């Protein structure tokens, strides 16, 4: 889950490598490094921590090479120290790696027995040694790399340089994405096209098992069997990749505030507002024949799926099976032939989600995905893609991608419901109109930040925070807790309100804020009972609801007043206060909101 780049340039490339790495920091930021080739000689600079540390290092000790590779790391094997930072080197071979080499320990033992000395605790270093070992036996760089690739088990995207070969870079992809970029007399390599956006929009995505030999004249691509193959060159839209914080202090804030616009854009992709009808892409399966839908995803995307389950079951009357992808992939549930499997992912690269997709495909399922990055592996391996039009999401904590995923889920539920005759045209119109009001409601909610700033003071003092919700608000409680813990580092748990008395109530005392997500729907009265139980034990309640504060029937620490909306669309609006509570608590505490510790935006390893 690291970011890798490579450039075969016509001038010194170190600064451009760092520029590209900046666009990949969302993949990890524990350490960074670059290596360049200058007159055949390999030199590297590495630094622990954020990219700026590497920049400072390069300012003091510049590199002049015109050929180079770079890496930004999310540590898996070995602590995030400078010594473990990539690029790794062995006898004139330098590599950067994204992924995990599962058989590294065995390879390391064999190579050590042959006299190789290892300098790091990483799994990646064996790759450099394997290639160097084959070259020592007389093989040229291409042949040596091919032999080494055949010995690696696990997931990798690689860029490799060779001392004495200034016009050569080898790339390989297995389980981790990699894009080749074409320039004029220059060639590029990157974990994604965003990294290459300043240099080129002329891109080839390597496919699973591909490896490529790059020179300044172009790229020769081979498949896993070593056969020369042609892969399409596509034009990626650099405009959509341009990313800055605008007037906001953090990307996360900018992304929260973009929600009215990106939700509108996403809804417009699925709704004919003139007719008040949902228009879905052809799913390649007759909705009337769908007997079950299985959903899998991770983290926030999984919570979007949980909301989707309530909607699809309630409106389309289709049973939905949903699981966290990392569980689903090993549970290997039996799936009915011809069923529909749905995958939700912002990045479209999450390893566990991709693995479940491949499992479902092997079981003869029709594969649909809700993804934000249209060029991603999950999108490319799906039979049908339902895109979210959220634009690039840079903050590690997912916000606008979540509400766009909900928007697509809502349209999918309506579209399936109508196609199956489970709702009437009038009901469809009512639901579509409710969705159309969401951007306005969210814009209104975003005008009241002062309330969240005030609450942030209290929340920042808490050691534990509980989030409660019932029905479709339960996933919102889970999402609220995830947002708070990942960016403020305060321990938080989301619970189904009905579960409170089965255990978590033991945690309640006057030091534990309890955030209750409770729109005034058919379940509100039930949640009122839970609030009473919390209040009776001295718990401090923050009620997020469109009811009046006194409807809770107990003392509240705060009441976040929500606009009156349709019960169907409440998850979309109620997502915003839970995002703002987490965001303001984290900024008050001074944490690194956009790049919280230990996390990465895109989890491309198990
Ligand atoms: O790219 P994906 O949507 O597949 O990512 C899934 C999760 O890793 C992601 O939602 C994660 O939980 C976020 N950091 C939550 O804010």
Query: Which domain CATH number covers 167?
Result: 3.60.20.10
- The preferred substitution site among 252, 299, 393, 602 for testing ligand 1, maximizing ligand atoms within 8 Å of CB, is 299
Question: Mean per-residue pLDDT for 209-222?
Answer: 97
| Per-residue pLDDT at 240 | 45
Closest to 507 in 3D by CA, of 564, 451, 465, 535: 465
Mean pLDDT of the region 114-137: 96
Q: Tell me which residue has its CA closest to atom 8 in ligand 1.
A: 299
* Max Cα distance, the chain (Å): 81
Ligand 1 pocket mutation, candidates 298, 307, 586, criterion most atoms within 8 A of CB: 298
447, 426: one domain: no
C-alpha 299 – ligand 1 centre gap (Å): 5
Angle in degrees, CA 100, 77, 150, rounded to 5: 30
| Lowest model confidence (mean pLDDT) among 105-119, 294-308, 457-471, 592-606 | 592-606
Query: For residue 601, how far is its CA from the centre of ligand 1 (angstroms)?
Result: 7
Residues 386 and 402 occupy one common structural domain:
yes
Residue 373 lies in a domain: yes
Give the three-class secondary structure for 295.
strand
- The mean pLDDT of the chain is 93
Co-location of 57 and 73 in the same domain: yes
Stretch 386-397: mean pLDDT, rounded? Answer: 93
pLDDT of residue 274: 76
Q: Which atom of ligand 1 is nearest to the CA of 399?
A: 16
Question: Ligand 1 pocket: which of 350, 405, 475 to mutate (most atoms <8 Å of CB)?
Answer: 350
> Token pair for residue 31?
């350490």
In a domain, 599, yes or no: no
Last residue of one domain, picked from the residues 198, 226, 247? 247
Classify residue 210: in a domain, yes or no. yes
Of 247, 272, 294, the domain-final residue: 247
Mark whether 540 is an active-site residue: no
Assess whether 205 and 292 both reside in one domain: no
Residue 241 has pLDDT above 80, yes or no: no
Specify whether 367 is located in the same domain as 408. yes
The count of domains in the chain is 3
Tell which atom from ligand 1 comes closest to the C-alpha of 297.
4
> Is residue 369 included in any domain, yes or no?
yes
pLDDT at 555: 86
Q: Is 230 a catalytic residue?
A: no
CATH code for the domain of 517: 3.40.50.10490
195-204 pLDDT, tens digit per residue, is: 898 899 999 9
Q: How far is the CA of 50 from the centre of ligand 1 (A)?
A: 21
Verify that 354 and 311 share a domain, yes or no: yes
Ligand 1 in reach of 478 Cβ (< 6 A): no
Distance 301 CA to ligand 1 centre (A): 6
CB of 298 within 6 A of ligand 1: the answer is yes
pLDDT of residue 242 exceeding 60, the answer is no
Same domain, 259 and 243: no
* 223 and 258 assigned to the same domain: no
- Whether 583 shows a pLDDT value over 80: the answer reads yes
Give the DSSP letter of residue 446: T
Beta bridge partner(s), residue 154: 101
Q: Which of 213, 229, 247 is at the close of a domain?
A: 247
Burial of 109 (0-12, 13-18, 19+ CB in 10 A): exposed
468 shares a domain with 426: no
Evaluate whether residue 393 is within a structural domain: yes
Instruction: Give the C-alpha distances (Å, rounded to integers) separating 22 from 13, 240, 548.
Output: 14, 17, 47
Residue 595 covered by a domain: no
Measure the CA–CA gap between 214 and 128, rounded to whole angstroms. Answer: 18
Taking the C-alpha atoms of residue 260 and residue 73, their distance in angstroms, rounded to an integer, is 34
Q: Does one domain contain both 239 and 93? A: yes
Q: Are residues 166 and 19 in the same domain?
A: yes
Distance CA 408, CA 406 (A): 5
89 and 178, same structural domain? yes
Q: What is the pLDDT of residues 271-311, one digit of tens each?
A: 988 788 999 999 999 999 999 999 999 999 999 999 999 99
Given the residues 2, 298, 360, 404, the one annotated as active site: 2
Residue 384 is inside which H or E element, if any? strand 384-387
Residue 97 forms beta bridges with which residues? 158
Q: Is residue 330 part of a domain?
A: yes
Q: Which atom of ligand 1 is nearest to the CA of 346?
A: 3
Find the domain containing 288 and state its range: 254-436
Assigned domain for 603 exists: no
């Amino acid at each position: 889950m690291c970011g890798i780049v490579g450039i075969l340039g016509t001038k010194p490339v170190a600064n451009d490598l760092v520029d590209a790495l900046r666009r990949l920091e969302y993949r990890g930021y524990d350490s960074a490094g670059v290596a360049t080739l200058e007159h055949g000689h390999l030199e590297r600079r590495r630094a622990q921590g954020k990219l700026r540390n590497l920049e400072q290092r390069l300012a003091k000790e510049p590199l002049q090479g015109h050929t180079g590779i770079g890496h930004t790391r999310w540590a898996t094997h070995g602590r995030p120290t400078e010594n473990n930072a990539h690029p790794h080197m062995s006898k004139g071979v330098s590599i950067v790696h994204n992924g995990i080499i599962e058989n590294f320990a065995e390879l390391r033992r064999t190579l050590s027995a042959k006299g190789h000395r290892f300098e790091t605790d990483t799994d990646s270093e064996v790759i450099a040694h394997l290639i160097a070992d084959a070259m020592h036996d007389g093989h040229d760089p291409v042949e040596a790399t091919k032999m080494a690739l055949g010995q690696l088990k696990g997931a990798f995207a690689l860029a490799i340089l060779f001392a004495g070969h200034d016009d050569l870079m080898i790339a390989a992809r297995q389980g981790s994405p990699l894009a080749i970029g074409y320039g004029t007399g220059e060639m590029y390599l990157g974990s994604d096209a965003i990294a290459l956006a300043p240099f080129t929009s002329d891109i080839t995505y390597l496919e699973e098992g591909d490896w490529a030999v790059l020179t300044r004249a172009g790229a020769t691509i081979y498949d896993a069997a070593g056969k020369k193959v042609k892969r399409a060159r596509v034009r990626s839209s650099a405009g959509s990749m341009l990313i800055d914080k605008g007037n906001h202090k953090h990307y996360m804030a900018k992304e929260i505030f973009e929600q009215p616009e990106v939700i509108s854009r996403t809804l417009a992709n699925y709704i004919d507002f003139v007719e008040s009808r949902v228009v879905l892409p052809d799913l390649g399966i007759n909705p009337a024949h769908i007997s079950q839908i299985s959903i899998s995803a991770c983290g926030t995307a999984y919570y979007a799926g949980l909301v989707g389950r309530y909607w699809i079951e309630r409106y389309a009357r289709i049973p939905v099976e949903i699981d966290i992808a990392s569980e689903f992939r090993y549970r290997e549930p039996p799936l009915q032939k011809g069923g529909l499997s749905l995958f939700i992912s912002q990045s479209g690269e999450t390893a566990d989600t991709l693995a479940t997709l491949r499992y479902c495909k092997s079981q003869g399922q029709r594969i649909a995905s809700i993804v934000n990055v249209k060029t991603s592996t999950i999108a490319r391996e799906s039979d049908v893609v339902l895109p979210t039009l959220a634009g690039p999401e840079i903050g590690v904590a997912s916000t606008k991608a979540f509400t766009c995923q909900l928007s697509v889920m809502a349209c999918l539920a309506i579209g399936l419901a109508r196609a199956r005759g489970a709702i009437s045209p009038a009901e469809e119109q009512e639901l579509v109109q409710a969705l159309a009001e969401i951007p306005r409601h969210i814009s209104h909610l975003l005008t009241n930040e002062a309330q969240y700033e005030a609450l942030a003071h209290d929340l920042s003092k808490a050691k534990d925070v509980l989030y409660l919700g019932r029905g479709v608000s339960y996933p919102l409680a889970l999402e609220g807790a995830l947002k708070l813990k990942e960016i403020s580092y305060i321990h938080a748990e989301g619970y189904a309100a009905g579960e409170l008395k089965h255990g978590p109530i033991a945690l309640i005392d006057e030091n534990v804020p309890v955030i209750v997500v409770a729109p005034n729907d058919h379940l509100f009265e039930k949640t009122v009972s839970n609030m009473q139980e919390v209040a009776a034990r001295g718990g401090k309640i923050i009620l997020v609801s469109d009811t009046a504060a006194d409807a809770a029937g107990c003392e509240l620490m705060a009441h976040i007043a929500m606009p009156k909306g349709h019960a169907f669309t409440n998850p979309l609006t109620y997502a915003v206060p839970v995002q703002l509570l987490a965001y303001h608590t984290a900024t008050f505490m001074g944490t690194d909101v956009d790049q919280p510790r230990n996390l990465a935006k895109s989890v491309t390893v198990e």
